[in-house]
């Protein structure tokens, strides 16, 4: 049986070098973002509380291309010992 195999014995070994992130000018990371954050809390028991808030975007100004959130929410439960 004939075997067809390709190999290159003179090839340099491959190394894994870390890839550096692209250079981002510091002027592209500046901005102003203002949110309105109303929240509610409800006492489930005298020692447990349920709470939540939502952040609503009022104003944003960013330099360059940046990701910004239009809204976000948080829910939580707290317990006092």
Name the DSSP class of 24. Answer: -
Q: Which residues pair with 51 in a beta bridge?
A: 41, 76
Which residue did the predictor score with more confidence, 16 or 76?
76
Q: Write a three-state SS string for 39-80.
A: EEEEECCCCEEEEEEEEEEEEEEECCCCCCCCEEEEEEEEEC
Q: Is the pLDDT of residue 78 over 90?
A: yes
Q: Is the pLDDT of residue 24 over 90?
A: no
The pLDDT tens digits of the residues spanning 30-72 come to 888 899 999 999 999 999 999 999 999 999 888 877 888 889 9
């Amino acid at each position: 049986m004939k075997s067809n195999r390709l190999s290159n014995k003179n090839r340099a070994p491959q190394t894994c070098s870390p890839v550096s992130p692209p250079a981002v000018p510091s002027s592209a990371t500046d901005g102003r973002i203002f949110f309105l954050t109303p929240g509610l809390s409800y006492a489930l028991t005298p020692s447990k509380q349920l709470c939540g808030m939502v952040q609503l975007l009022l104003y944003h100004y960013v330099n360059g291309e940046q990701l910004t959130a239009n809204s976000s929410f948080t829910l939580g439960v707290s317990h006092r010992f």
